[in-house]
């Protein structure tokens, strides 16, 4: 493993996994990163990141992953991917060694969001409130978010939508809630709650 990976710093406790290095790019030590979210803004604007490899035994000490700190020199979009330069001295061979590493960023380093704008990572895990038969109720928890081209969609896990699959086993159906002004009444990140006017069947 290259010397630039030998320096290990203690990672912060609020790291957020944002993507995975899938390959090198070109001959100048650039990295091709697959973002886990359609929201690429953090990886495009942050200057510090941490990486680890959950598949490599050499990166696992007593059951804990070794994290390596890197400075992001520049980054740009390339279709679904991000092309980033971590180190001015990174060679193509160095970049190839990083294939499979997860890229993390400290939540404290995220730029402040604009009014009425939210980072998806902050919405995941929030309790979603809506309506059932015109009565306010909790409809589930945000498990993920995706972009449908027009606006974000909250994927809400709920025990209310339980069906049986072909093996006669219980299966929870996701509730899809558009994250748009016409349906979102209030977002309270401090209490981890999202209030909506969404009506469930």
Q: Judge whether 137 and 201 are in contact, CB under 8 Å.
A: no
The CATH topology of domain 120-200 is: SH3 type barrels. (2.30.30)
Instruction: Report, as an integer, the average pLDDT of 87-95.
Output: 83
Neighbouring C-beta atoms of residue 25, cutoff 10 Å? 20
For the chain, counts of helices (H) and of strands (E): 3, 15
Q: What are the domain boundaries of the chain?
A: 3-109, 120-200
Mean pLDDT of the chain: 84
CA distance 24 to 2: 15
Range 3-109 classified under CATH 2.40.30.60 = yes
Instruction: Report, as an integer, the average pLDDT of 31-42.
Output: 87
Instruction: Report, as an integer, the average pLDDT of 53-64.
Output: 53
Give the global pTM. 0.69
Instruction: Report, as an integer, the average pLDDT of 75-86.
Output: 93
pLDDT higher than 80, residue 64: no
71-90: buried (b, 16+ CB within 10 Å) or exposed (e) per residue? ebeebeeeeebbbbbbbeeb
Tell me the Cα Rg of the chain. 20
For the chain, percent of residues with pLDDT exceeding 70: 84
pLDDT higher than 50, residue 116: yes
Which position has the higher pLDDT, 7 or 176? 176
Please tell me the predicted confidence (pLDDT) of residue 9.
Answer: 62
pLDDT higher than 70, residue 57: no
């Amino acid at each position: 493993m290259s010397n630039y990976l030998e320096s290990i710093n203690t990672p912060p406790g609020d790291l957020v996994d944002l993507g995975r290095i899938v390959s090198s790019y070109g001959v100048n030590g650039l990295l091709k990163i697959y973002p886990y979210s359609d929201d690429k803004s953090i990886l495009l604007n942050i200057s510090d990141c941490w990486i680890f490899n959950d598949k490599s035994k050499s990166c696992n000490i007593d059951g804990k992953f070794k994290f390596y700190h890197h400075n992001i020199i520049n980054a740009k979009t390339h279709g679904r991917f991000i092309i980033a330069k971590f180190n001015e001295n990174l060679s193509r061979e160095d970049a190839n060694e990083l294939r499979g590493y997860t890229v993390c960023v400290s939540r404290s380093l995220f730029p402040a969001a604009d009014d009425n704008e939210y980072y998806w990572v902050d919405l995941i895990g929030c309790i979603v409130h809506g309506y059932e038969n015109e009565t306010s109720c909790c409809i589930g928890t945000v498990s993920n978010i995706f972009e449908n081209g027009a606006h974000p969609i909250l994927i809400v896990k709920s025990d209310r939508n339980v069906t049986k699959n072909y093996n006669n086993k219980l299966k929870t159906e996701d509730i899809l809630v558009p994250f748009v002004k016409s349906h979102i009444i209030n977002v309270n990140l401090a209490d981890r709650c999202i209030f909506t006017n969404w009506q469930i069947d």
